[in-house]
C-alpha cells in the first residue's frame, strides 16, 4: 500500500488549488456581482394592494406606489436596474394603453425616476399585456395571423412613449421582424438618441413562460406565439436573429429563457462580443421555488449556482426575480 502510494508522483494535482476557501476564492474564474442584476417588476392598474402571483411565490403585482417602494428597497439592496411590465385596466385590439402618455408603465417610469434617479429603469416593450387577445402584435382575424409591419408601428410608439416618460433603456420582447431598426429611428427622430435598446434578440417560444403569463395577465386567448417567437430547436437561427438586431442597432442583446439555452448564451457572447443579457424566466424561478418550498432543494445554494452558471456561459447581465435576494446574499 505504501509502495503504490509512493509510486504516484503526479505533477498535476488539480486538488491543490481547492484546498482552502481562500485559495478557491483566489482562483475562481467567474463571479456574480450585484451590478449584473436586473429585477423585473409587474405594475398593475387593477390592484389596490400588492398582490401575490400564486405560481411565483415572492413575486407580486404592485400598485404604482408599492412599485416605487420596491424600487427604493431594491436600490438599497444594491440592484442597479429594474425591468417594468404593465398590466392595464383596459385592453383593446390596438393595445392603446401600451403607448398612452398616462399608461401605467409611463406613469411608473416617471414616478420611479423621480424617487430613485440613479436606478436604471428598463421597460419591456411589447403589446401582449395590452391586447384583448393577448398576442404580441395586431391580429388579422380573417387570415388568422399576427401582422408584422403594422405591429412594429405600435411597438415604436410604445418605445418612444417610454423614453418620453424617462426610461433609460427600452427592451422590445415582441420578436417582430425589423423592430430594432424601427425603434432606433423612432427614438432618434423624437430626440432620444441616448436611450439604450436592449433587444430580446434570441427569444424562444418556451413553455417556461407559463407563470409569467399569470403575473402579467398576457396569455394568448387563442393559438400560440410560434409564428413570431423562435422554435426551441434552432441555434443557427438564433445567431441570425441576433445578428439582425445588432445590425439594426441593438446596444445590448439577450438570450431567453436562460437555463435551457446556456449553449446559445455562450455562442451569442462569443460571436458578437456585445453586452449580453440572459433572462432567468418565470418557469425557472417557479421550479426552484417549488422544490425548495418542499424541502427538496436548497434555494440559496441553487440560485447562486445558477447565477454563476449564467456568468460562466457569458452573461454580463442577469434578469432575475431573485435579484434582491442575490444582491443581499452576495453582501453576507
Backbone angles phi, psi at 174, to 5 degrees: -80, -30
The answer to the question of residue 108 lying near ligand PBG (CB under 6 A) is no
The answer to the question of residue 128 lying near ligand PBG (CB under 6 A) is yes
State the Cα–Cα distance between residues 226 and 91, nearest whole angstrom: 22
The answer to the question of residue 212 lying near ligand PBG (CB under 6 A) is yes
Altogether, the residues listed in the chain come to a count of 332
Which is catalytic among the residues 113, 157, 256, 311? 256
Taking residues 23 to 62 in sequence order and writing x for each that binds ligand PBG by CB under 6 A, - otherwise, the string is: ----------------------------------------
Active site residue 203: yes
| Helix H or strand E encompassing 243 | helix 236-248
The answer to the question of residue 320 lying near ligand PBG (CB under 6 A) is no
Contact range with ligand PBG by CB under 6 A, out of 190-198, 206-214, 231-239, 241-249: 206-214
The answer to the question of residue 173 lying near ligand PBG (CB under 6 A) is yes
The Cβ of residue 274 has, within 10 Å, a number of other Cβ atoms equal to 18
Contact range with ligand PBG by CB under 6 A, out of 8-16, 42-50, 88-96, 209-217: 209-217
As given in the structure block, the three cell numbers for residue 155 are 411597438
- Least distance (Å) from ligand PBG to the CB of residue 303? 15
Helix 104-115 crosses helix 64-77 at what angle (to 10 degrees)?
40
The answer to the question of residue 66 lying near ligand PBG (CB under 6 A) is no
E-strand spans in 191-292?
196-203, 252-256, 276-280
Nearest residue to the partner ligand PBG, using Cβ: 212
The correct pick among 281, 286, 307, 317 for binding ligand PBG (CB under 6 A) is 281
Contact range with ligand PBG by CB under 6 A, out of 9-17, 113-121, 208-216, 259-267: 208-216
137: DSSP letter: S
As given in the structure block, the three cell numbers for residue 111 are 414616478
- Least distance (Å) from ligand PBG to the CB of residue 235? 20
Helix 148-165 crosses helix 179-189 at what angle (to 10 degrees)?
40
Residue 223 backbone zone (phi > 0: left; psi -120 to 50: alpha; other: beta): left
Which is catalytic among the residues 203, 269, 289, 311? 203
The answer to the question of residue 241 lying near ligand PBG (CB under 6 A) is no
State the Cα–Cα distance between residues 237 and 219, nearest whole angstrom: 25
As given in the structure block, the three cell numbers for residue 22 are 481562500
Active site residues: 203, 256
Which residues sit at the interface with ligand PBG, rule CB under 6 A? 124, 126, 128, 136, 173, 209, 212-213, 225, 281-282
Amino acid at each position: 500500500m505504501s509502495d503504490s502510494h509512493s509510486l504516484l508522483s503526479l505533477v498535476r494535482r488539480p486538488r491543490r488549488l481547492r484546498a482552502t476557501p481562500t485559495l478557491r476564492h483566489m482562483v475562481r474564474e467567474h463571479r456574480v456581482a450585484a451590478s449584473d442584476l436586473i429585477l423585473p417588476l409587474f405594475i398593475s392598474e387593477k390592484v389596490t394592494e400588492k398582490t401575490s402571483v400564486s405560481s411565483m411565490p415572492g413575486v407580486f403585482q404592485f400598485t404604482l406606489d408599492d412599485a416605487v417602494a420596491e424600487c427604493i428597497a431594491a436600490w438599497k439592496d444594491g440592484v442597479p436596474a429594474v425591468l417594468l411590465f404593465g398590466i392595464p385596466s383596459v385592453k383593446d385590439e390596438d393595445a392603446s394603453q401600451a403607448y398612452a402618455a398616462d399608461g401605467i408603465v409611463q406613469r411608473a417610469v416617471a414616478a420611479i425616476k423621480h424617487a430613485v434617479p440613479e436606478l436604471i429603469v428598463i421597460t419591456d416593450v411589447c403589446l401582449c399585456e395590452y391586447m384583448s387577445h393577448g398576442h404580441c402584435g395586431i391580429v388579422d382575424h380573417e387570415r388568422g395571423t399576427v401582422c408584422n409591419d403594422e405591429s412594429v408601428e405600435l411597438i415604436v410608439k410604445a418605445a418612444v412613449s417610454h423614453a418620453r416618460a424617462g426610461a433609460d433603456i427600452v427592451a422590445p420582447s415582441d420578436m417582430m421582424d425589423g423592430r430594432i431598426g424601427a425603434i432606433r429611428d423612432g427614438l432618434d427622430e423624437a430626440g432620444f438618441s441616448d436611450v439604450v435598446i436592449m433587444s430580446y434578440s434570441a427569444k424562444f417560444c418556451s413553455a417556461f413562460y407559463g407563470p409569467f403569463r399569470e403575473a402579467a395577465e398576457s396569455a394568448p386567448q387563442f393559438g400560440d406565439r410560434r409564428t413570431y417567437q423562435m422554435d426551441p430547436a434552432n441555434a443557427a437561427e438564433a445567431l441570425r436573429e441576433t445578428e439582425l438586431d445588432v445590425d439594426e442597432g441593438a446596444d445590448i442583446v439577450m438570450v431567453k429563457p436562460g437555463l435551457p439555452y446556456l449553449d446559445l448564451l455562450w455562442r451569442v457572447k462569443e460571436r458578437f462580443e456585445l453586452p449580453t443579457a440572459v433572462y432567468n424566466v418565470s418557469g425557472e424561478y417557479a421550479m426552484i421555488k417549488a422544490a425548495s418550498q418542499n424541502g427538496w432543494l436548497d434555494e440559496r445554494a441553487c440560485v447562486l449556482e445558477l447565477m454563476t452558471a449564467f456568468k460562466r456561459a457569458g452573461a454580463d447581465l442577469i434578469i432575475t426575480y431573485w435579484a434582491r435576494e442575490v444582491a443581499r446574499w452576495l453582501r453576507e
